[in-house]
Amino acid sequence: MAYDKFNTLTSTAVPLPIENVDTDQIIPARFLKATERVGFGDNLFRDWRYNQDNTLKEDFVLNQDKFSGKILVGGKNFGSGSSREHAAWSVYDYGFRCVVSSFFADIFRGNCLNIGVLPVQVSADFLQKIFDAVEADPSVELEISLPEQKIVLLSTGESESFDINGYKKNNMLNGFDDIDYLLNIKKDIETFAENTPL
Amino acid sequence: MSATKTLFDKVWDSHVVHKIQDGPDVLFIDRHMVHEVTSPVAFLGIKNRNIPVMHPEKTFATADHNTPTINQHLPIADPLSANQLRMLEENANEYGISYWGLGHAKNGIVHVVGPEYGITQPGATIVCGDSHTSTHGAFGAIAFGIGTSEVEMVLATQCIMQPKPKRMRINVNGKMSRGVTPKDVALFIISQLTTSGATGYFVEYAGEIFRDMSMEGRMTVCNLSIEMGARGGMIAPDEKTFEYIKDREFTPKGADWDKAMAYWETLYTDEDAIFDKELTFDGSLIEPMITYGTNPGMGMGISNDIPMANAVQGGATTYQKSLKYMDFNEGESMMGKSIDFVFLGSCTNGRIEDFRAFASIVKGRKKADNVTAWLVPGSHKVESAIKEEGILDILTEAGFELREPGCSACLAMNDDKVPAGKLAVSTSNRNFEGRQGPGSRTLLASPLVAAAAAVTGKVTDPRELMVELV
């Protein structure tokens, strides 16, 4: 699916300093029953955001007015668990365009890249600096440059570089689509299929 | 370039259609399994592109995540679940994909039916929009879970783009002790590596303990690879593997079998092949395991005490949040804790061997009054075997009921939900907060531990209930 281009993003951030945030917290299984990709943001972190009677849990970060922005900052091993792309859809649909963590679960990272949410992996030290800065002053902004593969904490000017493979980077910068790429090499695939043993 | 290769390299490298410079490999996919939850948006995608499914004959669809486990002959009450099943059926029909829906004799959990019908084969690349696709690695296949964009990619092109993972080998030597099952071996490994310890790797399991395991046991182990972050896990095929798949519906026959065998017999790690990481454990020291926290890495031998926050890897805040959710304390024992629910089933432990194990403990005993038990076979084939082997009689005698196949309480998308605050001993794969229903609390364990809990009403060491072998 084609998606928004991503170049440079400057935004405040929402801090979630918890480790091993799993996909069942990001979007519980009972909200996976849709057959179209709509409305997932409403149920992002559903059971951390709402009580069982659907009233807000006031202390959860998404329910605190002082925190907002297009960048979600999570603790180590963000997105572990299920392969549900619905988790990445929820993050996107809520309004986030970038997730920052010191470590991502593999499938979640791939799903984000496939729908145009940029996963930015930073060192544990830098992650802590972001948490400290944002919690002390929620108006602090981060600048994320995909062309330069750089994240800057604008309040102090401290920065780190981050990894992304050249192919995916180019896709995100231009909004290119994987399936278009594959359809362009369809002949190679057909030849391969004819010679496959299984 | 070294001529020696790992099992993983052999299978991966032989499926690379195209290498993208500074990007992922384009990998050809031999088998694509599809279920109702992660496929509708992918089918919508190819519909919008106006392109067909490239290889419908390599694509297999079954309904499992949403399906009720009682009264499957009646219409599904939940309109959203019913709609997802209807969409899958329509999509399968439209694109010429075989569909084993609700009520079909071959219906069951995707990772249970794949091997049962020989769709799963050694040396194959297998994907499904479900992280427990790693199960099929038990046959020496490269099998892993994918997201919906990737499901669309495979439907459209029979290929997937993936950066090649690093290689890890986990050796477990020795024999399983009494009361220890493949589930315990897997939970032990995950407890040692943590829930993210194998992220970025593809694991090969090697050593005596895995060689001795049945195919069902190997599936349980490979199934749980994702719970330590690994994309997948695999075990080199051997005589046991070939014996299991021979003569199944979708396995090659006659001359094709001989041709396939010639390939399959090359599927092992060369003696001096290099792994990026290698770990070795003494399997004889593994005990029956149980989890106490909110990820599968938070597990321990059943007779141990819950670790103190300062003794575990990771942040104390996260650890304490987890114990608070479970309503447990650091340093306390799990034994004797009163439980409310028992769930036997799932793609992890919903096979015939798991029901045999469960029955071996409950035989001649009675279900505890305080326990609600959901015994859910992984497929109709498993259900039939339970009946044919007389296991159903043992279960019925002990006060248990057998339900109909599906994913059920593993992720509680259907009505099998553990209520808030209730404690469940489950043979499934995830103890995440609310996984088995909002507010539910899950202890992951083997079918033996689940059975011991079901008849005593509390966390019990199954070895106390096992009949002594003469």
Chain B, 311-350: which have a CB under 8 Å from a chain A CB?
A: 314-315, 317-318, 321
pLDDT value of position A1: 54
Exposure string of B36-47, with b = 16+ CB inside 10 Å and e = fewer, is: bbbbbbbbbbbe
- Residues 64..103 of B with a Cβ closer than 8 Å to A: which? 65-66, 78, 80-81, 83-84, 87
Q: Is B349 part of a structural domain of the chain?
A: yes
| Alpha carbon distance B443, B22 (integer Å) | 43
Confirm or reject contact between A164 and chain B (CB < 8 A): no
- Shared domain for B214 and B144, answered yes or no, is yes
Other CB atoms closer than 10 Å to residue B312's CB: what's the count? 18
The predicted pLDDT at position B470 comes to 45
pLDDT computed for residue A198 by the predictor:
79
DSSP characters over B62-119: E--SS--SS-TTSPPS-HHHHHHHHHHHHHHHHHT-EEE-TT-TT-B-HHHHHHHTT-
Contact A165 B23 (CB under 8 A): yes
Residues B181 and B320 reside in one and the same domain: no
Q: Is residue B11 part of a domain?
A: yes
Residues B272 and B319 reside in one and the same domain? no
| Mean pLDDT of chain B, nearest integer | 97
Residues in contact with B61: Cβ distance below 8 Å, sequence separation at least 6, in sequence order: B33, B34, B35, B39, B88, B91, B92, B97, B98, B99, B100, B101
pLDDT of residue B125: 98
The 10s digit of each residue's pLDDT in B319-357 is 999 999 999 999 999 999 999 999 999 999 999 999 999
Long-range contacts of A168-174 (CB under 8 A, 24+ apart): A168/A113, A168/B23, A168/B24, A172/A5, A172/A6, A172/A113, A172/A116, A172/A118, A172/A146, A173/A5, A173/A6, A173/A7, A173/A146, A173/A147, A174/A5
Do B316 and B417 fall into the same domain? yes
Q: Supply the pLDDT for residue B467.
A: 73
Determine, yes or no, domain membership for B294.
no
pLDDT at B468: 60
Kindly provide the ipTM of the predicted complex, given to two decimals: 0.97
Indicate whether B256 and B335 sit together in one domain. no
Q: To which residue do tokens 């939900």 refer?
A: B417
CA distance B430 to B441: 11
DSSP-derived letter for residue A105 is: -
Residues B369 and B424 in one domain: yes
pLDDT, position A156: 97
Domain region containing B408 = 312-463
Of A32, A111, A198, the CB nearest to B37: A32
State residue B309's pLDDT score. Answer: 93
Question: Hey, are the CB atoms on B26 and A185 less than 8 Å from each other?
Answer: yes
Neighbours of B90 (CB within 10 A): 13
Structural domain tally of chain B?
Answer: 2
Q: Does B105 touch chain A (CB under 8 A)?
A: no
Domains of chain A are: 8-194 (3.20.19.10)
| Whether residue B265 is found in the same domain as residue B336 | no
The stretches in chain B having pLDDT less than 70 are 1-2, 468-470
CATH number of the domain at B237, please. 3.30.499.10
Percent of chain A with pLDDT strictly greater than 70: 99
Q: What is the pTM of this model?
A: 0.97
Note whether B196 contacts A196, CB cutoff 8 Å.
no
Decide if pLDDT at A2 tops 80. Answer: no
Cβ contacts of B386 within 8 Å, gap of 6 or more: B352, B355, B377, B392, B395, B402
Q: Are residues B197 and B91 in the same domain?
A: yes
User: Residue B239 corresponds to which tokens in the numbers above?
Assistant: 């005589």
Mean pLDDT of all residues in A140-169: 98
CB A13 within 8 A of CB A71: yes
pLDDT confidence tier of residue A196, bands split at 50, 70 and 90? confident
Same domain, B241 and B323: no
Mean pLDDT of A150-162: 98
